[in-house]
Amino acid sequence: MRVITGLAFIGNVIGWLFLIMILFVEDGFLGAGAIFGLIGFFVAYSVSEGFAVSMSDYFFQPSWDVFKQKIKWANGIGLTVGFIAAVVIGAIFL
């Protein structure tokens, strides 16, 4: 199961990098915000064990469900941080 979740995590990071490339082509401010979003994603994923997943989830749920819960929470935080960063960067430089 670790291999599957590892591949899913790597696929998610590749998706973030693809999003950053697309947003840099569209507008530099959006791309910079997406970089902050990627950083927020990594931070949120690393602390998600203490915030998004309880200890009982590890005992009563399959590891795939725990991984999905962690990745959804990290993506939500990353997208929120990226949006806020893009708005702030755009407000400063425009």
pLDDT of residue 79: 96
pLDDT of residue 29: 85
pLDDT of residue 55: 79
pLDDT of residue 10: 97
pLDDT of residue 42: 96
**Extents of the domains making up the chain:** 2-93
The token pair at 15 is: 């998706």
> Which of 38, 49, 34 lies closest to 87, judged by CA?
34
- CA–CA distances in Å: residue 19 to residues 2, 3, 16, 79: 25, 24, 5, 11
List per-block mean pLDDT (blocks of 10 residues) for the chain, which spans 94 residues.
93 96 90 94 89 78 89 95 94 86
Alpha helices in the chain (DSSP H): 2-26, 28-51, 55-60, 63-93
Alpha carbon distance 38, 83 (integer Å): 11
